[in-house]
Amino acid sequence: MNFFSKNRFIFWLLIFLVVINLSALTAFLVFFSRNTSDSRQQWQKTPGMKIRKELSLSPAQSERVNAILAGYKKTTEPIILKIKTYRAGILDELASDKPDTSYIKTSVDSICSFQRQMQKASVKQYLALKEICTPTQCQRLSALYFELYGFQDSCSGRGRGKGMMHQHRRGKGQ
């Protein structure tokens, strides 16, 4: 094979590989976007489905969980809207030439108050869910809430970690 035919072969091989990669990427994106929209729609239809699945709830427990989740949503939706409104106000104020720091401070304080209300509603929801669950379901519910709040396997309050036991020994064991 001479030099030009080798280059022509490599050129067409590269074109073929690019087409294959683009088609694979397109197929992946189409499949991924379809799955995400399906899962979002299903999540909106049945918000307690993850809890039901993770805790293996009975039908009677599922009905009570749905009632608790509906009450939580009814309580927290107005609070969420107020938080969004205050955040938008803060961003608008920060975008102005001379932001009013007193307005920003009062808005931040209001957001803190609403977040406190959200936390209280979450605790109330957790306690209501805990009353429904069996002891093994309560353990899994607790693990779900630890994941929800961003804690992984061992953390403070769960009894598995060392906590601040070695704080002043630069991490050295006993």
What is the tally of structural domains in the chain? 2
Same domain flag for 110 and 72 = yes
Separation between Cα atoms, residue 16 and residue 101, nearest integer Å: 60
Q: Are 158 and 143 in contact (CB under 8 A)?
A: no
pLDDT per position as a tens digit, 21-31: 888 888 888 88
Structural domain contains residue 154: no
How far, CA to CA in Å, does 102 sit from each of 76, 98, 111, 127? 27, 12, 14, 38
Residues of the chain above pLDDT 90, percent: 33
Structural domain contains residue 169: no
- Rounded to two decimals, the pTM is 0.59
Q: Output the CA angle 133-137-142, nearest 5 degrees.
A: 100
Same domain flag for 15 and 86 = no
Top pLDDT among 35 and 129 is at: 129
pLDDT per position as a tens digit, 87-143: 999 999 999 999 899 999 999 999 999 999 999 999 999 999 999 888 888 888 888
Same domain flag for 37 and 85 = no
Tokens of 158: 């769960």
Q: Output the CA angle 138-140-142, nearest 5 degrees.
A: 70
